[in-house]
Amino acid sequence: MDYGLVFFLEERQFAMPLSLVSRVVRAVEITRLPDAQAMIPGVIDVHGDVVSVVDLRARFGLPSRELDPNAQFILVNAADRQVALWVDRVEGVAGWEANDFVAGTVVSPGNRHLSGVVRGIDGLILVHDLSKLMASAVEENLVEMNGDNAGA
């Protein structure tokens, strides 16, 4: 059996492998970064550590939203550092058997960061590979930066 932390953006269910999750904390004010990309709007202080906030809405093409006091941050380990994933709410831990999981390569062959889809009790849950999700975001930002520099 595999386990993931289920969370919501809008009314869509997502999951992150539980092995990557450090903890979940209530949202706190984000210190905005100058010229920040949409996906990483700023940083927060987590017990003395400065942690980048990743806005998954921007990553998944969902409409932006002001930080709501009811929002939560999922602290995860990505690329040898901790980041805070900004989500609307965390549902909890879910487990699934192999026959409840459909691989991302079957569902969406061109989507590099979708690990797969799980048939949950309340509908389908999109399970993402955090390392690939973050790597593709970095690639996109490099392309965006190079594009901006090309016209200068």
Domains of the chain, by residue range, sit at 2-150
**Encoded tokens for 123:** 């509908």
pLDDT in tens, 64-95: 888 988 999 999 887 677 889 999 999 999 88
Find the helix or strand (DSSP H, E) in which 150 lies: helix 130-150
Distances (CA, A) of 113 to 51, 63, 95, 128, 137: 22, 20, 20, 6, 10
**Reported pTM:** 0.80
Residues 6+ apart with CB under 8 A from 21: 5, 74, 75, 76
Amino acid at position 129, single letter: D
pLDDT in tens, 9-49: 988 888 888 888 999 999 999 999 887 777 888 999 999 99
Q: Which CATH number is 2-150's, of 2.40.50.180, 3.40.50.920, 3.90.1150.10, 3.30.360.10? A: 2.40.50.180
